[in-house]
Structure 1
Amino acid sequence: MDPFISLDATAQADLVRRREVTPLELVDAAISRIERCNPRLNAVVQTQFETARLRAKTPLPEGPFTGVPFLLKDLLAAQEGYPLTFGSRFAKDFVPGHDSELVKRYLRAGLVVLGKTNTSELGLLPTTEGSLHGPCRNPWDVTRTPGGSSGGAAAAVASGMVPFAHASDGGGSIRIPASACGLFGLKPSRGRNPTGPELADSVHWLIGEHALTRTVRDSAALLDATEGPDLGAPYHAPPKARPYALEVGAPPGRLRIGLTLRNAVGAPVHPECLSAVVATAKRLEGLGHSVLEGNLQIPGDDTLGQHFMTAWACGVVNTVEGLSRRLGRAPSSEDFEPFTWALYQHGLSQGLSAYLHAQMEILRFGRVFARHFEDVDVWLLPTVTEPAPVLGTFASAPDAPLAPLFRAAGFTPYCPMANMAGNPAMSVPLHWSPEGLPVGVQFIARFGDEATLFRLASQLEAAHPWTHRRPSVFG
């Protein structure tokens, strides 16, 4: 029996701190789990096991997670000397010459990196089945997607390979796989975690990096270890009042919670996703909170999606051409999946005026969105519109390469607003379908107010725990 598989990262670190286990024991156990589970799931696409064992044998920094195994997403998380492919054939030979600031902070926290996780190409789709690494499978049902673009991270954590893993979110890519895999996933406020040393933001203020975890306390303690501006940061989130770890278990008070099922694209919502929100609303009232149904009325939201896509497509141009400069060769359609290449071409066609207008409208949206928190502390809404779809749902057609875009818009209409406004948002695993598929519910708080989300999430975790639930592929 593996004595560590059911322990979260905080508990594993505590064993090391009390010298009841060594970092090498934790690392070896995690490597064994990866070797057992990964052939079925394809969650881990690069390994560095021997390097990890060597690191575990040497004196590690005394941090909150000394000796705990960890995985990095194969996107954004630059690690000196290791490939960073962005899930793309074009970048399969790209090897950064430095660590990103966030990776440096992970290492200072004492984490031991075991490898990289699967992602969709450039992190563009809410699934993880790219042509470079192949499809990643959901531990709850291997015929289904684990979500995306942090699907590899989610599958690795849900299956017990590691207790938590790095993830990023530019339109739901932490929250979507959290919902699909029955995990806790928090997207921090804009600027909460660093993006340096080179990037201001790779997709124009939309992306936040953090992690997928099984417990709320792991997410809070990891954010304590990484948050804060790095040198030269162009913007940063408001300072926290106290460590987030202290918010876990702290009474949230009687919160005013707005509930909405409306989405800007008019996408239908699966009955299980509706049930998840309705049941959560009743649970919140049982915990003493006030839940009032309302609408996130967004002026001009019929065109807001177009502005988001303009910024997103121009971000693809920025990413592709940035990689082109680093690799010293021009991109071509043969280097990318049809959807990515079509979105790149769409971004090239937008022009400077359209891009600047989209940026202005997105920033204006942030001001409009802030008004929805004048009389409400937190908004409750679905994370996605259906449980994890089957693999292949987001495939391109030869005559319609952008078709996955429209399918994705109907699947994730509730996620991008938090990216556009920069607000913190989380998906909490509070519901399972009769078929045994997890369904997350989403909460969005005021800009900079991760503290309220951690207090509320830990209250829900205590009242309605989820970590005892195990998928068919576990360990």
Structure 2
Amino acid sequence: MQFHEYTRFDALGLADLVRRGEVSPAELLSVAMARADATHGQLNAIIRRYDDRARQRVQQCFTPEQPFGGVPFVIKDLFQEWEGAPSSWGNAAHARAISPITSDVVRRWTDAGLVIFGATNTPEFGAKNMTEPRDFGPTRNPWNTKHTPGGSSGGSAAAIAAGIVPVAGASDGGGSIRIPAACNGLFGLKMGRGRVSIGPMAAEGLFGAAVQGVLSRSVRDTAAMMDILQGPEAHAPFWMPRPDQAYLQAIERPPRTMRIGYSTESPTGTPVDKQAIAATEDAVRLLTALGHHVEPVKLPFDGKQLAADFLLTWFCAQAFLVDELCRQEGLKLSDFEPDTQVMAAMGRTVSGPELCGCLERWHLHTMDLTRFHAQFDLWLSPTISAPPLPVGALTTPPALHMVNKVLSGLGLFGAIRKSSFFQEIILKNLGWTPYTQLANVTGRPAMSVPLYWTPDGLPLGVQFVGPVNSEARLLQLAAQLEHARPWFDKRPNL
């Protein structure tokens, strides 16, 4: 099989070719590896290869019951552990440890017949919306290598957009599936809380805000992936009941007519690029033409308070993670990026009552969104407030690193964190991605759909947020949009 033939199919299509004996898993793996080799210098999407394990894997028999039998696949190098292999989480020092376990999602992927041959780049601990870890270097966008593919699943998104694989492992703790989907012309669905296990190494990620999932070129690939990933695990603290019908079957039916409220206003009050507004208004016209009722609405939540509450819990999680790796693996603070050290230092200034109060406000944000969904089926917004940023656009200047080091030495982070100056800084840092945290804090499903490209040829997705248990509804709408405005054959000139 040649590369141009390989990219004509999504993952389910490739698996069907294997099932019918028209191509072998070894052939597919060879094409995927060759494409990964050819694009690595331009993109830096895959930072670790498992070629030997993959070659052994394709010699095994795949059964007709495996929906993705023989299809090449890459996992995200963050909390997607594979027994016997290292996992860096974007940090080279942590990569010295070999995982003694396999994550639930990785086990389900291999059970479904996928052939894992690499792990994709991610920012350190997934803590940024651009994929530029100090230890592994930046990943670049296949549509324009001067720009970012987003984060934190940026490596996976770049690998798909470049044609290395049709679908890849991803996760989303604050937009990390939807942001890269928007930047790379891909479909990205964040499942609701409790749908997919993040175990067995943890009960929940970021108090339930972080979920496992995939990025893909086709809606049906994501639907089939959700069918294999969702469902209970004995060690999970809770789970959502299975849907009445498989997601892959559900998307065969068109969605019912929906009432959709939309807004382009930034929840944090930061500027919104005219292209992000144009992308949303274009989606409104398409939805209206398809028979849906779409109307402008006020923001259904307090965006600035939600951003502050999201970041406070994120800082606490970073502090816990840094301290645990130092305790368990003997890492030193210098092993972590300066920005990670600052976030962890901020987290250590948060008291127990303050954190509990913050988590209680998460419930208030959920109630705000619940009231909105009592009137509207979905909330529509830009996924990101501007087209993909240039690589390095959000890098912290060295001079500010020195200031942070001095502040840390003086123990002033507690006072700084509560200052208006710091509040303005964090709102500015979320300025490019102010829309996505809502679904994580509330635990609701949300998706980014690739309906728009800028005049410069950069993808710019739009986001839909649904109520609890609305994954099937979102997938049905995505399939309808995919049929009305196909994107599968849009490919970067790489």
Match of residue 142 from structure 1: 145
Gaps of 5+ in 1: none
Contact 2:203 / 2:235 at 8 angstroms: preserved in 1?
A: no
**Which of 18, 31, 35 pairs up with 2:20?**
18
Q: Distance in 2 between matches of 1:461 and 1:316?
A: 38
Which secondary structure does the structure 1 equivalent of 2:350 belong to?
helix
**Which of 307, 325, 328 pairs up with 1:326?**
328
State yes or no: 1:369 paired with 2:369: yes
Shift in alpha-carbon separation, 1:322–1:240, aligned structure 2, 3 A: farther
Match of residue 396 from structure 2: 396
State yes or no: 1:193 paired with 2:191: no
Contact 2:266 / 2:272 at 8 angstroms: preserved in 1?
A: no
Q: Deviations over 1:145-202 (max 9, x none)?
A: 0000100000000000001100011110100010111100111001111111120123
**Which of 49, 52, 58 pairs up with 1:50?**
52
Q: Deviations over 1:352-377 (max 9, x none)?
A: 11111111111332222111111111
Pairwise CA RMSD: 1.5
Contact 1:202 / 1:319 at 8 angstroms: preserved in 2?
A: no
Pairing of 1:193-272 with structure 2 (within 5 A): 193-272=196-275
Which secondary structure does the structure 2 equivalent of 1:258 belong to?
strand
Q: CA deviation at 1:90?
A: 3.4
Q: Deviations over 1:295-314 (max 9, x none)?
A: 2332x544232211111111
**Which of 409, 412, 422 pairs up with 2:433?**
412
Pairing of 1:87-102 with structure 2 (within 5 A): 87-102=90-105
- Give, as a single letter, the amino acid of the residue that structure 2 aligns with 1:421: T
Contact 2:447 / 2:463 at 8 angstroms: preserved in 1?
A: yes
Which secondary structure does the structure 1 equivalent of 2:208 belong to?
coil
Q: Distance in 2 between matches of 1:411 and 1:383?
A: 9
State yes or no: 1:163 paired with 2:166: yes
Contact 2:275 / 2:454 at 8 angstroms: preserved in 1?
A: yes
**Which of 420, 441, 453 pairs up with 2:462?**
441
Which secondary structure does the structure 1 equivalent of 2:6 belong to?
coil
Match of residue 287 from structure 1: 290
Which secondary structure does the structure 2 equivalent of 1:430 belong to?
coil
Contact 1:188 / 1:424 at 8 angstroms: preserved in 2?
A: yes
Gaps of 5+ in 2: 405-421
- Give, as a single letter, the amino acid of the residue that structure 2 aligns with 1:339: D
- Give, as a single letter, the amino acid of the residue that structure 2 aligns with 1:311: T
Q: Distance in 1 between matches of 2:466 and 2:224?
A: 19
Match of residue 35 from structure 2: 33
Shift in alpha-carbon separation, 1:265–1:75, aligned structure 2, 3 A: same
- Give, as a single letter, the amino acid of the residue that structure 2 aligns with 1:472: N
TM superposition score normalised by structure 2: 0.92
Q: Distance in 1 between matches of 2:168 and 2:185?
A: 14
Q: Deviations over 1:414-444 (max 9, x none)?
A: 0000000011100000000110000000011
- Give, as a single letter, the amino acid of the residue that structure 2 aligns with 1:310: L
Which secondary structure does the structure 1 equivalent of 2:320 belong to?
helix
Q: CA deviation at 1:262?
A: 2.5
Which secondary structure does the structure 1 equivalent of 2:159 belong to?
helix
- Give, as a single letter, the amino acid of the residue that structure 2 aligns with 1:466: W
TM superposition score normalised by structure 1: 0.96
Pairing of 1:60-99 with structure 2 (within 5 A): 60=62, 62-99=65-102
Q: Deviations over 1:191-237 (max 9, x none)?
A: 11111112012311110110110000000001101101211211222
Q: CA deviation at 1:330?
A: 4.6
Contact 1:202 / 1:318 at 8 angstroms: preserved in 2?
A: no
Q: Distance in 2 between matches of 1:202 and 1:221?
A: 23
Q: Distance in 2 between matches of 1:235 and 1:311?
A: 21
How many percent identity over aligned positions?
Answer: 39
Q: Distance in 2 between matches of 1:190 and 1:326?
A: 29
Match of residue 335 from structure 1: 335
Which secondary structure does the structure 2 equivalent of 1:339 belong to?
helix
Q: Distance in 1 between matches of 2:82 and 2:45?
A: 19
Q: Distance in 1 between matches of 2:300 and 2:164?
A: 42
Contact 1:249 / 1:459 at 8 angstroms: preserved in 2?
A: no
Shift in alpha-carbon separation, 1:106–1:125, aligned structure 2, 3 A: same
